[in-house]
Structure 1
Amino acid sequence: MERITYQDIPNGMFENLRTIEDSIINSTLDRKLIEMIRLRTAQMNGCAYCVDMHYKELKHFEETELRLSSLCVWEETPYFSEKERLVLLFTDTLTKLKSSPISQELFDNLTSYFSKEEICYLTLTISQSNTWNRLMKTFEFTPGNYKVSK
């Protein structure tokens, strides 16, 4: 049972968040990588609604079952490229923030694969995903009902 229904959400709240979503989707980042970030963030935050959503989105983008089932243990598997592993490390680091800054080494490694603009969008994707996770954990939208738009 939802604590807060879609009808209870203040006017403009989701629309403003969707504007940010549009800027992420329209960036030069690969859509499958964006969804991988979102699924990983949802796993880390224990957001069942978002796990369901981003799992389905990745299936739509033809992600393999092996990689989907192994994302929660990505560090222990050989199924992800160096670029993906770096993004997953960045995702884990930003999702579990510490009081210290993001390491220079991690940032420098990101610049091997991404422009500064793309690093901005990676950061925004991770931050936005954490925002959605926190909203869904509070609102308790029912997982399992999400349908991928074709």
Structure 2
Amino acid sequence: MSRIPFENIPENLMNCMMQTEKYIKSLNIIDESFMEVLRYRVSVINQCAYCIDMHFKEAVAASESELRIYSSSVWKETTYYTESEQALLEWAESVTLLNDTSEQRQQSFTNLSKHFSQDDISNLTLSIMQINSWNRLAKSFGFEAGTYQVGQH
């Protein structure tokens, strides 16, 4: 049951969130299909059922394989993510969980720096922060999982 339905989120808050989405989409740092995997992974970490449903469907629609989507939680045990994707998944976990040591975070950053510029890392971090924000809105407001249609938001 929704506490605050999506359509009832205050307009200024939605404008702010959507401006950030527009900026992130304009960057084109990584493929949209993998961006959806990244969003899916962060949503799994945060246990946001609505966002898990949304980003699984959006990733499939963006031609990502179901195997790579649902395996994102165990990416360390697979061989089908590129080194840059692995580094980004590691960074997303670090930024989302915030429970690693400074040495672990430095190693994650070093790994990511092999594949992305500082500007790219800054913008990818914003992307991770953004899905964390959406997860918190969806969970707090009680968005109903399972009803999302591709392209709905």
Structure 2 length as normaliser, TM-score? 0.90
Structure 1 CA distance for aligned equivalents of residues 133 and 8 of structure 2:
18
What is aligned with 2:65?
64
Give the gaps of 5 or more residues in structure 2: none
* Deviation of the 1:110 alpha carbon: 1.4
Pairs within 5 Å for 1:44-123: 44-98=45-99, 100-101=101-102, 103-123=105-125
Give the gaps of 5 or more residues in structure 1: none
1:12 aligned counterpart, secondary structure: helix
Q: Which has the higher contact order (CA 8 A, sep 6+)?
A: 1
* Cα distance change on mapping 1:48 and 1:61 into 2, 3 Å: same
| Residue identity in the other structure for 1:27 | L
For the 8 Å contact 2:34–2:59, the answer to whether it is kept is no
* Cα distance change on mapping 1:7 and 1:146 into 2, 3 Å: closer
1:135 equivalenced with 2:137 (yes/no): yes
1:32 equivalenced with 2:33 (yes/no): yes
* Deviation of the 1:7 alpha carbon: 4.4
What is aligned with 2:2?
2
1:144 equivalenced with 2:140 (yes/no): no
What is aligned with 1:16?
16
Cα RMSD after superposing both structures = 1.8
For the 8 Å contact 2:75–2:86, the answer to whether it is kept is yes
* Cα distance change on mapping 1:4 and 1:82 into 2, 3 Å: same
* Deviation of the 1:60 alpha carbon: 0.7
Residues 61-70 or 36-45, more deviating: 61-70
| Residue identity in the other structure for 1:125 | S
Structure 1 length as normaliser, TM-score? 0.91
